[in-house]
Amino acid sequence: MKKISILLFCLIGGLHGSAQVFIEMNAQGQDFKGSWTVYGSQNFNKSIPDEKLTGSKFWNEEWQLATLFAADSVLLGRLYVRYNLLNQEIHFKDLEGNEKVAAPDMLRVAVLHPGKDITKITTVFRNDLSDVVINNKPVKCYLEELNRDDYRLMKLHRKELMVMDARFGTEKKYELRDKLDYFIASNNRVVHLKKLSAENVLELLPRSAGLKPVIKEEGLSLKSEKDVVKLLKIYDGHIKKSTAGKAE
């Protein structure tokens, strides 16, 4: 199996007051135990050891078995992985047990399994869809696929680095915070949802007027992942039934 090249640089959006910050992984960070350099306004430039960061960079600290695919569903192999939310990169252990970072232009889909049972799927991360755009800006990331119907709810889970004053401004505090964005994907088209709501979801579903009674009957607020996934499954059945009826 070819060694997947290491991606050394990443840009992460974060806020400290009005200051934008981004993070660069140092060249010795292949083992991911080193430090991170934070850049910002007022000539702020400081290397931060991992132990000074509050919060985890990973979606799950534990390594999980995954089936990995390149473009066009070409199988790359099965390896243990974990998803770095700060970098939006997937780490994997190669056959010698070395930790690597998968190049996103090679690794397009990661299918995670429970334990060693490859017949079951717990989570799917993918970057093989159309360009992901938030506020007219493209975002390089892996999206978590929350359902497998024709219209799918996709989640982008990121970590933002917050730089704050501590000890009356004499020290800096570095905290990783969760940031979530949601999308509706269909026919390789991905549309960002400003927030989970009935209005935002329904406007992206063609012929969705008939769903309003269903939403009321099921008591769906569509403000939660669970509610949206349930509606998309109902919608999938509704559309397929309608199409089958016309065909007859």
- Who has greater pLDDT, 71 or 243? 71
Mean pLDDT (whole number) for 203-228: 91
Q: What is the DSSP string of the chain?
A: -PPPPP--B-----EETTEE-EEEE-TTGGGS-SEEEEE-STT-EEEEEGGGEES-SBS-SS-EEEEEE-GGG-EEEEEEEEEETTTTEEEEE-TTS-EEE--TTT--EEEE-STT-TTS-SEEEE--SSPPEETTEE----EEE---SSSEEEEEEEEEEEEEEETTTTEEEEEEEEEEEEEEEETTEEEEESSS-HHHHHTTSTT-GGGHHHHHHHT--S-SHHHHHHHHHHHHHHHHHHHHHHH-
Query: What pLDDT is attached to residue 37?
Result: 53
Average pLDDT, the chain: 79
* Percentage of the chain lying above the pLDDT 90 cut: 50
15-42 pLDDT per residue, tens = 222 223 333 332 222 344 444 555 544 4
- Who has greater pLDDT, 199 or 20? 199
Ramachandran quadrant class, 136 (left: phi over 0; alpha: psi -120 to 50; beta: rest): left
**Residue 190: pLDDT over 60:** yes
**Residue 8: pLDDT over 50:** no
Least confident of 15-19, 94-98, 128-132: 15-19
